[in-house]
């Protein structure tokens, strides 16, 4: 072991934290080595100086500090309890609570729990089958949507739209004026729409005309 | 450092009890460590009120995270590591209350004054003042070694640096203190008398 390696362990020889093998090596090195002994004495003086609490240093009041800590912990515990009480229980937790309180679930033997859960599952499955709607005309119509009256009779127009318009915006635009697409897109991207033939017709056309997504609108002459 | 295994084993048992919500165990650990943590913190930041607050921040963290203590390091290493992390966080963005020893304006004066005869108690107080002027990284190695009795391996764990770095920092700290040690009357013939 080099002298440098010994020297750099001296501080921890002084504080007694070296393991046995390291300590023996340092002790051999210290023997008949006045310079090393001087180094050790300086470390020991540092240890004495740092190890004591000087009169100039503040003293910590551990009891007062602990009381403050306890107060802080209690405040946090109360806050946490409040949050837990206010937090809505999940469906599973509520079911577990109901089972525990109403069925005395904890006291129920395991085989009885299995039987009860099986029966409950069967009841739920049967209920679902009975309550689910059959395949009816109404269901089909709901999916496809009812036929707008404007399709059957009305005034038609050719409309050119901003290519950036989204599907949702287009749907909103047409629904707002009770219009439906009856043809298109054409080679140049225009659509033919149909509007109800009523006293609002001119107003609907004017609203479409000024809409920022409408680039072109031309009423189709009958 | 826990030179004997018994205190460390006792502290591990306390920490496990704290993890289960045992406040009596927390009080035992508090009584053993709060003053040490306070000393560690106050010597880094010199703000008594803030240091007291940080002691409880550290103990609060121990209270909350004791259940996850796996014993990979000794309790003292774990606790002082938390204390150091908390202190560095508290002073982040600010310079710690210290100046490099070589840049301390009053350093030269003190070295000259130190040649006057003083009591051992006064010499040790002057030594503490000199150590207080070391850089953060040098001072904390000195503090952890001589106040907290940590081994260089434990200090490496606390500071999260290689063991050789710890030894090098101690070497440089000692080199910077050498003029003080000499001028405080710790010449080769006198040092034995002081110790």
pLDDT digits (tens, 9 = 90+) for B6-39: 678 899 999 999 999 999 999 999 999 999 999 9
Give the H or E element holding residue A183: strand A180-183
Element (H, E) at A217: strand A214-219
In terms of DSSP bridges, do strands A155-161 and A180-183 run parallel, antiparallel, or are they unpaired? unpaired
Give the pLDDT band (50/70/90) at residue A3. Answer: low
Cα(A205)–Cα(A179) distance, integer angstroms: 10
* Distance, C-alpha B83 to centroid of its chain: 10
Q: Which residues of chain A neighbour B38 with C-beta distances below 8 Å?
A: 60
Which of A39-43, A165-169, B102-106, B119-123 shows the lowest per-residue confidence on average (mean pLDDT)? B102-106
Provide the pLDDT for residue A79.
Answer: 83
Is B34 in Cβ contact with A65 (below 8 Å)?
yes
Task: Tell me the backbone φ, ψ of residue B9, rounded to 5 degrees.
Answer: -65, -40
Q: Which residue has the higher pLDDT, A122 or A66?
A: A66
Does the pLDDT value for residue A135 go beyond 60?
no
Q: What is the pLDDT of residues B50-91, one digit of tens each?
A: 999 999 999 999 999 999 998 888 999 999 999 998 888 887
pLDDT in tens, B86-123: 888 887 655 444 444 444 433 434 444 554 556 778 88
Express as a percent the part of chain A with pLDDT over 70: 78
Q: What confidence score (pLDDT) does residue B165 get?
A: 95
Cα–Cα distance, A90 to A109 (Å, whole number)? 25
Give the pLDDT score at A73. 93
* DSSP-assigned states of every residue in B29-67: HHHHHHHHHHHHHHHHH--HHHHHHHHHHHHHHHHHHGG
Q: How confident is the model at residue A109 (pLDDT cuts 50, 70, 90)?
A: confident
From A64, which residue of chain B is nearest by alpha-carbon distance?
Answer: B52
Task: Look at B34 and A8 and tell me if their CB atoms are within 8 Å.
Answer: no
What tokens appear for A139 in the block?
């269901």
pLDDT-based confidence at residue B129 (cuts at 50, 70, 90): confident
By three-state DSSP, how is residue A156 classified? strand
Tokens of B97: 């209350």
pLDDT of residue A215: 80
Average pLDDT over residues A112-137: 72
Query: Closest to B152 (Cβ–Cβ): which among A12, A38, A55?
Result: A12
- Mean pLDDT is highest, among A216-220, B124-128, B188-192, for B124-128
Taking an 8 Å cut-off on Cβ atoms, the answer to whether B34 and A49 are in contact is no
Q: Which two tokens stand for residue A29?
A: 């090195």
Q: Is A33 helix (H, G, I), strand (E, B) or coil?
A: coil
Nearest CA in chain B to A34: B188
- SS3 (DSSP) at A32: coil
Strand partners, A180: A194
B175: number of Cβ within 10 Å: 11
CB-based contact A41 B59, cutoff 8 Å: no
**CB contacts, 8 Å: A65 with chain B:** 30, 34, 52, 55-56
Q: Say what the pLDDT of residue A222 is.
A: 63
Sorted by sequence, the CB contacts under 8 Å of residue B32 that are 6+ apart come out as: B11
Instruction: State how far the Cα of A189 lies from the Cα of A159, in Å rounded to an integer.
Output: 9
DSSP 8-state code for residue A199: T
Q: CA-nearest residue of chain A to B186?
A: A42
Q: Is A62 on the interface with B (CB under 8 A)?
A: yes
Contact A15 B34 (CB under 8 A): no
Average pLDDT over residues A97-116: 71
State the Cα–Cα distance between residues B40 and B43, nearest whole angstrom. Answer: 6
- Kindly report the number of other CB atoms within 10 A of residue A87's CB atom: 9
Q: Cβ neighbours of residue A81 under 8 Å, at least 6 residues apart?
A: none
Q: Nearest by CB to B146, which of A15, A58, A66?
A: A15
C-alpha angle B59/A16/B28, rounded to 5°? 25
> B132-177 pLDDT, tens per residue?
889 989 999 999 999 999 999 999 999 989 999 999 999 999 999 9
Mean pLDDT estimate for chain A:
80
Chain A residue at shortest CA distance from B195: A45
**C-beta of residue B73 within 8 angstroms of C-beta of residue B81:** yes
């Amino acid at each position: 072991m080099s002298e440098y390696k010994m020297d750099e362990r001296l501080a921890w020889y002084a504080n007694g934290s070296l393991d046995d093998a390291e300590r023996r090596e340092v002790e051999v090195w210290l023997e008949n080595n006045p310079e090393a002994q001087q180094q050790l004495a300086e470390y020991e003086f540092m240890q004495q100086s740092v190890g004591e609490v000087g009169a100039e240093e503040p003293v910590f009041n551990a009891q007062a500090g602990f009381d403050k800590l306890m107060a802080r912990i209690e405040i946090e515990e109360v806050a946490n309890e409040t949050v837990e009480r206010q937090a809505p229980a999940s469906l599973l937790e509520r079911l577990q609570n109901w089972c525990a309180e109403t069925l005395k679930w904890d006291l129920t033997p395991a085989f009885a729990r299995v039987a009860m859960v099986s029966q409950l599952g069967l009841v739920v499955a049967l209920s679902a089958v009975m309550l689910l709607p059959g395949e009816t005309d109404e269901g089909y119509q709901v999916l496809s949507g009812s036929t707008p009256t404007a399709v059957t009779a009305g005034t038609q127009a050719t409309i050119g739209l901003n290519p950036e318009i989204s599907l949702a915006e287009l749907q909103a635009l047409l629904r707002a004026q009770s219009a439906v697409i009856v043809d298109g897109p054409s080679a140049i991207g225009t659509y033919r729409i149909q509007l109800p033939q009523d006293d609002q017709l001119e107003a609907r056309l004017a609203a479409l005309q000024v809409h920022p997504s409408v680039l072109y609108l031309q009423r189709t002459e009958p | 450092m826990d030179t004997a295994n018994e205190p460390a084993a006792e502290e591990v048992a306390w920490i496990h009890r704290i993890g289960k919500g045992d406040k009596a165990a927390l009080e035992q650990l508090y009584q053993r460590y709060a003053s040490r943590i306070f000393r560690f913190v106050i010597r880094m930041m010199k703000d008594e009120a803030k240091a007291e607050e940080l002691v409880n921040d550290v103990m609060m963290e121990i209270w909350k995270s004791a259940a996850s203590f796996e014993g990979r390091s000794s309790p003292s290493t774990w606790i002082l590591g938390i204390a150091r992390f908390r202190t560095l966080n508290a002073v982040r963005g600010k310079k710690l209350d210290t100046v490099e020893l070589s840049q301390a304006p009053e350093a030269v004066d003190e070295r000259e004054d130190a040649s006057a005869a003083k009591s051992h108690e006064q010499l040790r107080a002057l030594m503490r003042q000199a150590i207080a002027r070391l850089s953060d990284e040098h001072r904390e190695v000195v503090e952890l070694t001589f106040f907290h009795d940590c081994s260089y391996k434990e200090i490496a764990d606390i500071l999260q640096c290689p063991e050789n770095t710890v030894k090098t920092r101690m070497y440089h700290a000692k080199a910077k203190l050498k003029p003080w040690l000499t001028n405080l009357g710790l010449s080769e013939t006198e040092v034995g008398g002081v110790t």
